């Protein structure tokens, strides 16, 4: 036998034996507990099992365990999970309102930023209050994007069979989710009571599974009999009194107390327990993500000998890829929508029928449907129809009536209000809506806007408005009452929205009434990647009115956002406005600073025929938490005012630094300003302004 043949024989025997050894190694089942961001340690556990070649026969997760487990089951490697966490803006996903200092509100909007209704009436006429502090709709959308790589009907069709555990809020029973929408299962499993709205699914109202099974060992043994169950416990320990400093700390402590017994009962049934060192980690803090993941790695390495022993004596696991069904769409169905909305959805996407199913299209369609005014959230699932699949959109509609209370105050100008804002839907037909906003303070205002349909590309809008204003300008005191009404035909395509209409206005000032009417126009292009905390894209808005066919009054605003790094943002805002100082007793002039174009001039705006301004800001995120973020912004800007002869007669500038806390419980800013008049000011802002200048820009 030649040396070459001998080497070949030895290599062949080696491959046979090693292949046999690899085949002989069995799999383990993971029971991943809840624990908020402490659950990032699950990634470290998965990472070590992946590196050591330990097959996973199944995963059962609760709360954060369901999120990490669901993504791993759908084919994400541990390295990809690290990338997902690194790119995750948890503060933004948890927020219901969070606006950087320079994000402009649409000028034709009379809606404040608050997204949390204090009072709502459902379709049955029952009065309901908030069911949680956060809706979690953004989380659902993000989960749907992440889970879109697998097209499945049952969770055991994933690359790793999976189940999520939730709690039925009505009966208190455990609910094991194994079919339907993976995104909805993850969202339901992590619906921490008081923090998140319960999630409706399958006719049940579901909340966090940790209430009944925070470490789902029993469920894992029931679903995967014969396999050893490794319990990964990140439920945490009780905090000391000095560490209980916020509402979330209280909820975290309460959940730990409440879940302690069910964890103790189930942990005894596990074949092996991994307990990463997560004591003291807040449940919504990604600051120390790498350290938490490393803790999961180390805790798993410490138990590696026992894990290998379990795997070597367990049944083998067939290797398989995440299932991507090569099926076509058999039908489009809709659940939870009105007959009119159901018909619109089916008509919009009926071209899919008979064509291959695309998860990318599903995510896009869900986002399109959720963009309609009467829709709160949209999810989807698939059901088998022979060799093909039925596509089912699951729609959650907004309540018929929502009422918000809020306010706005600052020390820099007199425009301070308490306001009540409401939306009444399905007033005369399915999907129509009436928005109203009333504000009281040193100045008062009432706005109402009726949309005939939630379809932005073919709706009519009726607007009425009454405003009282008083300004201390460089040319003296200006005060007036303005009453207006108008009709607009709205259009929409892609990122563009437009409207053409006609408006009437009466201005009462100095005992004299001035009437005018004429066509109106607005045009908006919005490519911002997020409506509240954008990191890329731009927003362009034009609003114009042509009173009595004389001089066109208009306002143009432009906003650009850019992400410089994980914690740095850049914002640029610019605008141009054309007024008419000679009309309506001078009250159709432009006023630089009156709508906070330059903050240091907001209490003493500069009157003119036209104006141009710009400002830019570099924002640094200092701290992130469940309630929002603490930001600091270094900013500066300039403004130019022109008279009716076209001459530029005032150039002004300001610079400053601000600290802002935008969030769904509190929206405040503290500013330190310096301007061209060598005027140093310290200003604060609490709440969101509602300007309401219709039909003037």
Cα-based torsion angle of the residue sequence 638, 642, 647, 649 in order, rounded to the nearest 10 degrees = -60
Is 33 in a helix, a strand, or coil?
Answer: coil
Reading phi first (left if > 0) and then psi (alpha if -120 to 50, else beta), residue 227 is in: beta
Per-residue confidence band for 320, with pLDDT thresholds at 50, 70 and 90: low
Catalytic residue among 33, 63, 150, 658: 63
| CA separation, residue 176 to residues 1, 160, 219, 222, 492 (Å) | 62, 16, 8, 11, 42
Tens-digit pLDDT profile for residues 519-533: 999 999 988 877 666
Is 231 in a helix, a strand, or coil?
Answer: strand
* Strand pairing report for 610-625 and 668-675: unpaired
Closest alpha carbon to 631 in 642, 645, 621: 621
H or E segment to which residue 359 belongs: helix 359-370
Token digits of residue 583: 């009309």
Is residue 510's pLDDT more than 60?
Answer: yes
Is residue 281's pLDDT more than 50?
Answer: yes
Token digits of residue 362: 């599903």
Closest alpha carbon to 525 in 569, 557, 482: 557
How many CB atoms within 10 Å of residue 278? 24
Q: What pLDDT, on a 0 to 100 scale, did the predictor assign at position 276? A: 92
Per-residue confidence band for 364, with pLDDT thresholds at 50, 70 and 90: confident
Q: In b/e form, how buried is each residue of 570-589, taking b as 16+ CB within 10 angstroms?
A: ebbbbbbbbbbbebbbbbbb
Is residue 613's pLDDT more than 90?
Answer: yes
Q: Where are the alpha helices (DSSP H) in 204-319?
A: 210-213, 217-223, 247-267, 289-302, 304-312
Section 294-311 average pLDDT: 93
- Out of 92-96, 166-170, 249-253, 551-555, pick the least confident: 92-96
Contact 189, 204 (CB under 8 A): no
The verdict on whether 481 is a catalytic residue reads no
- Out of 119-133, 335-349, 473-487, 681-695, pick the least confident: 119-133
Homologous superfamily assigned to 28-96+133-313: Cytosolic phospholipase A2 catalytic domain (3.40.1090.10)
CA dist., res. 470 & res. 614, Å (int): 25
The verdict on whether 246 is a catalytic residue reads no
Closest alpha carbon to 380 in 190, 389, 503, 371: 389
- Out of 109-123, 554-568, 674-688, pick the least confident: 109-123
Section 248-273 average pLDDT: 79
CA angle 272, 276, 282 (to 5 degrees): 135
Is 3 in a helix, a strand, or coil?
Answer: helix
Beta-carbon contacts of residue 187 (< 8 Å; ≥ 6 apart): 136, 139, 140, 143, 199
Is 17 in a helix, a strand, or coil?
Answer: helix
H or E segment to which residue 22 belongs: helix 3-24
Architecture of domain 426-432+440-687: Beta Barrel (2.40)
Section 543-549 average pLDDT: 92
Q: What pLDDT, on a 0 to 100 scale, did the predictor assign at position 2? A: 45
Beta-ladder partners of 543: 522, 555
Is residue 8's pLDDT more than 70?
Answer: no
Q: What pLDDT, on a 0 to 100 scale, did the predictor assign at position 607? A: 94
Express as a percent the part of the chain with pLDDT over 90. Answer: 39
Is residue 502's pLDDT more than 80?
Answer: yes
Q: Is the dihedral of CA 235, 240, 242, 247 positive or negative?
A: positive
Tens-digit pLDDT profile for residues 448-468: 999 998 876 778 999 999 999
Question: Best-predicted range by mean pLDDT among 336-340, 434-438, 618-622?
Answer: 434-438
CA dist., res. 374 & res. 376, Å (int): 7
Is residue 109's pLDDT more than 50?
Answer: no
Catalytic residue among 89, 168, 208, 667: 208
Per-residue confidence band for 238, with pLDDT thresholds at 50, 70 and 90: low
Per-residue confidence band for 1, with pLDDT thresholds at 50, 70 and 90: very low
- Out of 136-140, 382-386, 424-428, pick the least confident: 136-140
Q: Alpha carbon 507 to chain centroid distance? A: 40
Closest alpha carbon to 164 in 261, 31, 47: 31
Per-residue confidence band for 19, with pLDDT thresholds at 50, 70 and 90: very low
| CA separation, residue 306 to residues 61, 273, 300, 394 (Å) | 22, 10, 10, 44
Q: Where are the domains of the chain?
A: 28-96+133-313, 328-397, 426-432+440-687
Average per-residue pLDDT in the chain?
A: 83
Per-residue confidence band for 111, with pLDDT thresholds at 50, 70 and 90: very low
CA angle 529, 192, 32 (to 5 degrees): 95
Q: What pLDDT, on a 0 to 100 scale, did the predictor assign at position 26? A: 84
Per-residue confidence band for 660, with pLDDT thresholds at 50, 70 and 90: confident
Beta-ladder partners of 131: none
Q: Is the dihedral of CA 674, 675, 677, 678 positive or negative?
A: positive
Beta-carbon contacts of residue 359 (< 8 Å; ≥ 6 apart): 148, 149, 150, 151
Closest alpha carbon to 39 in 276, 298, 287, 300: 276
Q: What pLDDT, on a 0 to 100 scale, did the predictor assign at position 104? A: 45
Is residue 664's pLDDT more than 60?
Answer: no
Is residue 110's pLDDT more than 90?
Answer: no
Q: What pLDDT, on a 0 to 100 scale, did the predictor assign at position 22? A: 39
End-to-end CA distance of the chain: 94
CATH topology of domain 328-397: Ubiquitin-like (UB roll) (3.10.20)
Q: What pLDDT, on a 0 to 100 scale, did the predictor assign at position 555? A: 93
Q: What pLDDT, on a 0 to 100 scale, did the predictor assign at position 119? A: 67
Contact 69, 40 (CB under 8 A): no
Reading phi first (left if > 0) and then psi (alpha if -120 to 50, else beta), residue 99 is in: beta
CA dist., res. 138 & res. 146, Å (int): 12
Predicted TM-score (pTM) of the model is 0.74
Q: Alpha carbon 397 to chain centroid distance? A: 17
CA dist., res. 82 & res. 597, Å (int): 41
The string of DSSP codes covering 595-632 is TSSSGGGSSSPEEESEEEEEEEEEEEEEEEETTEEEEE
CA dist., res. 431 & res. 608, Å (int): 42
| CA separation, residue 294 to residues 45, 46, 276 (Å) | 9, 11, 9
Per-residue confidence band for 381, with pLDDT thresholds at 50, 70 and 90: confident
């Amino acid at each position: 036998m030649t040396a070459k043949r001998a080497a070949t024989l030895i290599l062949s025997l080696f491959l046979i034996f090693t292949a046999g050894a690899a085949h002989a190694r069995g799999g383990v089942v993971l029971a991943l507990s809840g624990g908020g961001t402490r659950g990032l340690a699950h990634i470290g556990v998965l990472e070590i099992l992946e590196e050591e070649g330990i097959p996973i026969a199944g995963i059962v997760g609760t709360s954060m365990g369901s999120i990490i487990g669901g993504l791993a089951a759908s084919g994400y490697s541990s390295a990809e999970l690290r990338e997902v966490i690194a790119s995750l803006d948890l503060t933004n996903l948890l927020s219901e309102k969070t606006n950087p200092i320079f994000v402009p509100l649409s000028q034709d909007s009379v809606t404040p930023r608050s997204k949390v209704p204090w009072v709502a009436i459902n379709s049955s006429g029952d009065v309901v209050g908030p069911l949680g502090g956060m809706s979690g709709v953004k989380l659902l959308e993000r989960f749907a994007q992440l889970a879109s790589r697998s097209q499945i009907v049952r969770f055991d069709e994933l690359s790793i069979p999976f189940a999520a555990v939730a709690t039925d809020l009505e009966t208190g029973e455990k609910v094991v989710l194994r079919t339907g929408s993976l995104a909805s299962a993850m969202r339901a499993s992590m619906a921490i009571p008081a923090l998140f709205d319960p999630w409706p699914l399958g006719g049940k109202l579901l909340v966090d599974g940790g209430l009944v099974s925070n470490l789902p060992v029993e469920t894992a043994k029931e679903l995967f009999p014969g396999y050893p169950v490794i319990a990964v416990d990140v439920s945490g320990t009780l905090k000391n009194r000095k560490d209980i400093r916020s509402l979330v700390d209280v909820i975290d402590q309460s959940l730990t107390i409440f879940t302690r017994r069910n964890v103790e009962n189930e942990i005894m049934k596990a074949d092996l327990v991994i307990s990463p060192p997560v004591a003291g980690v807040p449940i919504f803090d990604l600051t120390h993500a790498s350290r938490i993941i490393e803790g999961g790695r180390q805790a798993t390495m410490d138990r590696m000998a026992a894990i290998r022993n379990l795997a070597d004596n367990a049944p083998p696991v067939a290797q398989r890829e995440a299932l991507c069904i090569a099926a076509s769409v058999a039908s489009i169905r809709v659940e939870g929508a009105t007959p009119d909305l159901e018909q619109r959805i089916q008509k919009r996407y009926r071209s899919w029928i008979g064509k291959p199913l695309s998860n990318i299209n599903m995510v896009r369609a869900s986002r399109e449907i959720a963009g309609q005014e009467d829709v709160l959230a949209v999810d989807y699932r698939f059901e088998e129809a022979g060799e093909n699949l039925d596509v089912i959109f699951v729609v959650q509609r907004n309540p018929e009536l929502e009422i918000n209370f809020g306010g706005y105050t600052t020390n820099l100008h007199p425009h301070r209000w308490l306001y009540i804002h409401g939306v009444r839907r399905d007033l005369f037909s399915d999907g129509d809506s009436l928005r109203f906003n009333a504000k009281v303070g040193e100045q008062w205002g009432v706005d109402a806007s009726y949309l005939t349909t939630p379809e932005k590309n073919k709706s009519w809008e009726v607007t009425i408005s009454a405003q009282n204003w008083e300004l201390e300008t460089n040319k003296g005191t200006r005060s007036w009452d303005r009453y207006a009404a108008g009709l607009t035909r709205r259009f929409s395509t892609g990122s563009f929205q437009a409207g053409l209409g006609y408006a009437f206005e009466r201005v009462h000032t100095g005992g004299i009434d001035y009437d005018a009417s004429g066509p109106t126009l607005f045009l908006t292009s919005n490519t911002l990647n997020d409506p509240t905390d954008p990191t890329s894209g731009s927003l362009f808005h034009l609003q114009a009115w042509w009173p009595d066919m004389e001089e066109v009054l208009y306002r143009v605003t432009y906003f650009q956002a850019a992400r410089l790094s994980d914690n740095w943002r850049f914002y640029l805002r610019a605008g141009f406005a054309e007024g008419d100082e000679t009309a309506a007793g001078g009250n159709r002039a432009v006023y630089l600073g009156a709508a906070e174009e330059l903050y240091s001039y907001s209490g003493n705006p500069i009157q003119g025929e036209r104006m141009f301004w710009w400002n830019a800001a570099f924002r640094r995120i200092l701290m992130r938490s469940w309630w929002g973020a603490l930001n600091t912004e270094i900013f500066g800007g300039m403004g130019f005012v022109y008279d009716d002869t076209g001459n530029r007669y005032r150039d002004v500038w300001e610079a400053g630094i601000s600290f802002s806390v935008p969030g769904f419980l509190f929206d405040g800013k503290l500013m330190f300003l310096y301007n061209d008049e060598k005027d140093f000011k310290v200003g604060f802002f609490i709440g969101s302004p509602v300007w309401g200048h219709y039909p003037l820009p």
